[in-house]
Chain A
Amino acid sequence: MSITKTIGTAHRVLNQLRHDHRTLALIILIPCILLIIFRFVFQNQQPMFQAIAPQFLGIFPLIIMFIVTSVAMLRERRSGTLDRLMTMPMSKTDFVFGYMLAFSFLALIQVVLACVVLLGFLDVPVAGSTVQVIVAALGAALLGTALGLFVSAFASSEFQAVQFMPAFVLPQLLLCGLFAPRTAMAQPLQWLANVLPMTYSVDAMKQTTQQVDWTGDFIRDIAIVGGFAIGVLALGALTIRRQE
């Protein structure tokens, strides 16, 4: 592994996005706009909004990074650039970590801006520190990147890659406890929810709204999300083959 090549790859991925203003604007602004819309959906139910809104920060980065990564990776595989890179003295770790680094940086901007809107303009009180919110959101972003990287190996067209979003991410969204408390779900769904990573990402966000400090539960949630992300990232790296 080489730090220069990892950072070089991250720099290249961000450069690509820098040239693509529209994608960049969508990534950064969509969460903020959705949060504002959401605020007025709960026009007369401010406490309800305050309880739920932060949990969205555990979901947006995951979904957006999932889509961006899976399409970006599919392009690498199909355009021949990955083919070329794999004949060069570069390790797969450099490649995968480069992507992870780039999208984590992007997620950081996305989340900081969403936090400014959420905590600053929409007056949502968060018991924990802003740092906790950012840590939890970065975990979600990492998870989205890892899942996107992994599923891109199974897509042979952009259509398929985009369809993996409802296939892989929407079930997690339904079961993560945002729409109905997990304890109220049918037992098999509870078991399923317990093994799906988004559950822990959303749970970590919920912790920040309720607990003042870095509780054991919060750290456990973050550890699960992080562990899951690294595991899936390793699987994703395995799908990149040097030789066919």
Chain B
Amino acid sequence: MAKNHPEAAMSIKNLVVAKAGKDILRGISLHVGSGRVIGLLGPSGAGKTTLIRTIVGRQKPTSGTIAVMGRPAGSATLRKHIGYMTQGIAAYPDLTVAENLRYFATMTDTPRQRIEEVLAEVHMQAKAQQLVSTLSGGEQSRLSLGIALLAKAPFLVLDEPTVGVDPLLRQQLWELFSKLARSGTTLVISSHVMDEAERCDELVLIRDGQILAHETPQELKQRTGSRTVEESFLKLVKQS
């Protein structure tokens, strides 16, 4: 198991989330230190998005507790400190890239000059005046990521941020994530692309609403005697 950091960025205890009488998350406990990149991995339907929605306060826990930076998930003060990238695009297709960023900047009390920085961070300067509906899938998800980065929140929750992004840019985005973590930002990133997992500080493997493993990629591979995270994951699934 990963080390417990003194200043926990997120602390989850026995979290259960039931939707329509079905338990989606079945007793999750997780402690995460700040300034770490946490990879949330698991097959689709494992409960990744539900966990993410609970972290950002959109989904109410059925039982158990979840605290982000010392405050219960969903509390009003947290809204200033969490950047959230949803799984869908969650931007206005009938507005330009710049208009979207301007609107979400106003909603997050972010100064205007930050917009230029964000455009550079997600490599979208050339597309600023383009309507979102005319962008490619990868460009749309970069805009969506950009919106989450606007407020420079110390806690970022990114649901599949690199879907449809080409390999070169994907590498640049992961470098950005590492840079943010070095400056103290905590990032929770869900993915089903296992090769991205190697770049995380800690991995959380989820299956059927439960945590299968929580450790560093190296620990995970050593423990399961595997060469890749993907192989480890398959071994763990077979064991359970």
Contacts and interface: CB of A to CB of B under 8 A. Distances in A.
Interface of A: 4-5, 8-9, 11-12, 15-16, 19-20, 79-81, 83-90, 242-244
A86 B58 contact: yes
A243 B57 contact: yes
Given A5-B107, A8-B107, A244-B58, A84 B86 contact: yes
Nearest to A83: B86
Contacts of A11: 103
B99 A15 contact: yes
A19 B147 CA distance: 21
19 contacts: A5-B106, A8-B103, A12-B95, A12-B103, A15-B99, A79-B92, A79-B93, A80-B87, A80-B88, A81-B91, A83-B86, A83-B90, A87-B57, A87-B79, A88-B104, A88-B108, A89-B108, A243-B57, A243-B58
The 9 closest A-B CB pairs, nearest first, are A80-B90, A8-B106, A80-B88, A89-B79, A12-B103, A80-B86, A84-B90, A243-B60, A87-B84
Interface residues of B, number: 32
Nearest to A241: B58
Contacts of A19: 94-96, 131
Given A12-B95, A242-B74, A84 B84 contact: yes
Contacts of B16: none
A88 B104 CA distance: 9
Nearest to B99: A15
Contacts of B86: 80, 83-84
Given A16-B92, A243-B59, A244-B59, A84 B106 contact: no
A165 to B, nearest CB: 22
B58 A90 contact: no
B107 to A, nearest CB: 5
A81 B91 CA distance: 6
B59 A85 contact: no
B92 A84 contact: no
B8 interface: no
A16 B108 CA distance: 20
Most buried by B among A15, A20, A86, A88: A88
A88 B89 contact: no
Given A79-B90, A243-B74, A89 B109 contact: yes
Contact of B95 (A16, A80, A83): A16
A57 to B, nearest CB: 28
Contact of A79 (B56, B76, B88, B99): B88
A87 B94 contact: no
Interface in B103-131: 103-104, 106-109, 131
